[in-house]
């Protein structure tokens, strides 16, 4: 067969084109696998309805303690107790949230004075969905507390609280409106502009009268609005 530079060049170009195409396909396939792996990793804590787990059940990644209280993870549960000498303390998310819906599943050992902080910026600029039994005025868990303003809304129905088992507090914040539900019943709906953004967290109150108390958290979910 007579040698043709043109045909040889075409064959070389065809082989090169094939090699480029094959390499491209392989790179795309690898990139797809990498993206799938990234997606799986990034959504590992995602829940139905756009909710995201803030507490992994494994450790305190994403959380930061302040004060002298003791915070540990045991058997997939977050547990808070007073520190030495009935020392108090708080546990906060490292992230802050503006408008959101949060759901917290918890139980406590009484007597107890605790709560779920939200839109927390400082000890004087925050809100709390209380977990307590207060006598003057009489109010119970789910009461909305604001430092310096005391109770913005009070749950006066003690029957809503499961004193021996699990409870669920849901908090919804949009603009200056804060709403709280305890075990499916709304207990607060307030407009207040003390703080529009901040951390979510938990409190362990000081005092020997609360020494036996223990707050146990099973789940913390949040969805930003």
Judge: domain 48-224, CATH 3.40.250.10: no
Nearest CA among 105, 76, 111 for reference residue 167:
105
Average pLDDT for runs of 10 along the chain of length 225 = 45 47 45 40 56 97 98 98 97 98 98 97 98 96 97 97 97 98 98 98 96 96 98
3-state secondary structure 123-182: CCEEEEEEEEEEECCEEEEEEEEECCCEEEEEECCHHHCCCCCCEEEEEEEECCEEEEEE
What letter would DSSP give residue 73? Answer: E
Helix (H, G, I), strand (E, B) or coil at 98: coil
pLDDT computed for residue 47 by the predictor: 64
Enter the pTM of the model.
0.79
- If you search the block for the tokens 């609280």, which residue do you land on? 161
Please tell me the number of Cα atoms within 13 Å of 10 on its side-chain side. Answer: 5
pLDDT computed for residue 6 by the predictor: 40
pLDDT computed for residue 49 by the predictor: 82
């Amino acid at each position: 067969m007579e040698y043709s530079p043109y045909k040889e060049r075409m064959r070389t170009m065809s082989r090169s084109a094939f090699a480029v195409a094959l390499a491209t396909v392989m790179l795309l396939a690898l990139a797809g696998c990498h993206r799938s792996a990234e997606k799986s990793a990034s959504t590992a804590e995602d829940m139905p309805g756009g909710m995201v787990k803030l507490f992994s059940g494994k450790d305190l990644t994403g959380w930061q303690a302040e004060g002298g209280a003791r915070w540990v993870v045991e058997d997939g549960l977050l547990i808070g107790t007073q520190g030495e000498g009935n020392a108090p303390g708080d546990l906060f998310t490292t992230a802050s949230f503006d408008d959101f819906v949060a759901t917290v599943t918890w139980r406590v050992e009484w007597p107890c004075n605790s709560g779920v902080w939200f839109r927390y910026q400082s000890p004087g600029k925050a809100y709390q969905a209380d977990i307590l039994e207060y006598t003057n005025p009489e109010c119970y868990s789910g009461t909305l507390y604001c430092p310096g303003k005391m109770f913005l809304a009070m749950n006066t129905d003690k029957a809503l609280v499961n004193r021996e088992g699990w409870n669920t507090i849901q908090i919804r914040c949009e603009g200056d409106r804060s709403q709280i539900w305890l075990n499916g019943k709304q207990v607060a709906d307030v407009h207040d502009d003390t703080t529009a953004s901040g951390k979510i967290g938990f409190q362990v109150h000081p005092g020997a009268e609360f020494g036996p108390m223990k707050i146990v958290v099973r789940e913390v979910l949040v969805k930003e609005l």
